Structure 1
């Protein structure tokens, strides 16, 4: 994996910086005008999916985006050993106790592009909106890029129209264009999205790409709150205990007052 990351570092560095600019520029844009968000698959309990998501994150995101509140050794919580982390995921540091810092110097990024690439530690939590959860948004967003030569980056997005970032995973998904159907109602013509036309294939099939994006989103979702699954389990246990204790208290109360007239 280190060899792969090294070979593609320059390319991913440029694309990642452009992605950072797009995310920063569109941080306050409304989702109105975009398509409805798809439901992201729930994979936060799937260790294999989380591990693959971590690999995608390190190879495609970490060149420019930091995860300042996540330490590498916390990845042991998703089933990776310390040696696996050292061998496969440490590109910007030599210590597994370090936080996930971007490969690029923040001062250089700010000087070159006017803004530092945003931190992605809690991106899945911060993107929630009326259309769904933050995971839903990211899952839809990373699957709806298409070629648009009228844009500076050459890319556009259905979930975030006119977004200023490129499609960093395009080699996996390939080139596509949206297909619309013109519907006329009451004399007004409306363009309705109907599906996709694959222009050039990527290294993955559409199903494989959707699964990979689901893994990446699951990792981003887990990274935003690594203890979320533990919290849910503890919460369920507490509710069960309270229900059982309530039953015992009710029976004790009945037994205590049964002889009182």
Structure 2
């Protein structure tokens, strides 16, 4: 009985280990566009503005505080004037009032926290930034969906198209292939406030900000890493010179 239980646990562990790989193999391969991620402060500030105005109503960023945005060049006063609307303080976390249960009731699933979404979405098909950049540009009108929207790379998504006023409305032209798969080509049928190029740039800025939120100290870490490598290289040279001098009478 004891051995049977152990074998059962081992089999369950094996199934859980390989289940994601099986699921990925069974799904259709995704084509992800390369995200033009930027660390330019102006791009990050624009992305922060888009995030607060369009995303923060439903999605929180509960691991990030408003005053951390000073690291992308915003002053505390600029944060107060442009990014705080309901009495928050600059030291507060970027949370939302909506409860997860309410989000599940309204959208079918609770909107995820976006603090590390750019890192959690990374896969073999591309980086998390590539997935987000593609996803936010591939919404299309679908009257069959409760929200009236669908998405090419996230079929039957519960999220409505929050940026439709900026992008406009796209229509999906679906072609049935001989092998039983479908090809979806999007056509812009109602222009938005932004041109296609301007909208792509806006999405790139937003994705850049989401990438920054996932690791706000990334640039500092890279700088420190560079100096550490330079230090180690110098230390190696000095250590080698010391070794040569120490052993010169023996060799």
TM tier relative to shorter chain: 0.7 to 0.9
Verify the 8 A CA contact 1:175 1:202 in the aligned structure 2. Answer: yes
Residue of 126, 143, 167 corresponding to 2:120: 126
Aligned to 2:223: 233
Pair 190,67 (structure 1): closer, same or farther in 2 beyond 3 Å: closer
1:78 aligns with 2:72: yes
Pair 222,198 (structure 1): closer, same or farther in 2 beyond 3 Å: same
Asked which structure has the greater CA Rg, the reply is 2
Verify the 8 A CA contact 1:34 1:161 in the aligned structure 2. Answer: no
Structure 2: gaps (5+ residues): 1-22
Superimposed CA distance per residue, residues 173-198 of structure 1 (whole angstroms, 9 cap, x where no aligned partner): 111124456665xxx565445x5321
Distance 2:173 2:104 in 1: 40
Aligned to 1:257: 247
Deviation at 1:116, TM superposition (A): 4.4
Pair 215,110 (structure 1): closer, same or farther in 2 beyond 3 Å: closer
Aligned to 1:69: 63
Pair 135,42 (structure 1): closer, same or farther in 2 beyond 3 Å: same
Aligned to 1:243: 233
Q: CA RMSD in A?
A: 2.4
> In the comparison of the two structures, how many residue pairs are matched?
227
Verify the 8 A CA contact 1:34 1:160 in the aligned structure 2. Answer: no
- Secondary structure at 2:51's aligned position in 1? helix
Superimposed CA distance per residue, residues 204-236 of structure 1 (whole angstroms, 9 cap, x where no aligned partner): 011111110011111111111111111111112
Pair 77,166 (structure 1): closer, same or farther in 2 beyond 3 Å: same
Structure 1: gaps (5+ residues): 1-28
Distance 2:168 2:217 in 1: 35
